[in-house]
Amino acid sequence: MDKEEKTEWRKNEFFISTEKSRIDSAFVHDFLRLSYWAQNISIEIVRRAIENSLCFSVFAGTKQIGFARVISDYATCDGLIEIESKLSLEYGNAKI
């Protein structure tokens, strides 16, 4: 997957997208602020992190319920940085 490639995976009412225009940065910001390592993070930093990462957003219909961010050189190195999800809170045992 290259930096600009957009991909989607679907299963039932859920889907995962790498399209950044779909990301609800307020959702990501609010969820990150619940963590001890990012409780004081600004929305501007969150937006910059999204812009410079490979992002995966999880949706139930049109509602964003999860997010993961990977930093990568798109050649040999990558690292999963953040995973957030309301999936277990609102959707029980649903698995994608």
Establish if 1 belongs to a structural domain: no
Establish if 3 belongs to a structural domain: no
pLDDT tens, residue by residue, 29-72: 998 898 888 999 999 999 999 999 999 999 999 999 989 888 88
Q: What is the mean pLDDT of residues 4-13?
A: 82
CATH of the domain at 60: 3.40.630.30
- Please work out, in degrees rounded to the nearest 5, the angle formed at the alpha carbon of residue 66 by the alpha carbons of 74 and 96: 85
Establish if 45 belongs to a structural domain: yes
In this prediction, residue 77 carries a pLDDT of: 76
Establish if 96 belongs to a structural domain: no
In this prediction, residue 80 carries a pLDDT of: 72
Establish if 31 belongs to a structural domain: yes
Question: What total number of domains does the chain contain?
Answer: 1
Residue pointed to by tokens 């609102």: 90
Range of the domain at 17: 8-90
In this prediction, residue 25 carries a pLDDT of: 95
Strands (E) in the chain, as ranges, are 8-11, 14-17, 54-60, 63-72, 78-85
pTM reported for the whole predicted model = 0.76
Establish if 65 belongs to a structural domain: yes
Which uninterrupted H or E stretch holds 44?
helix 43-51
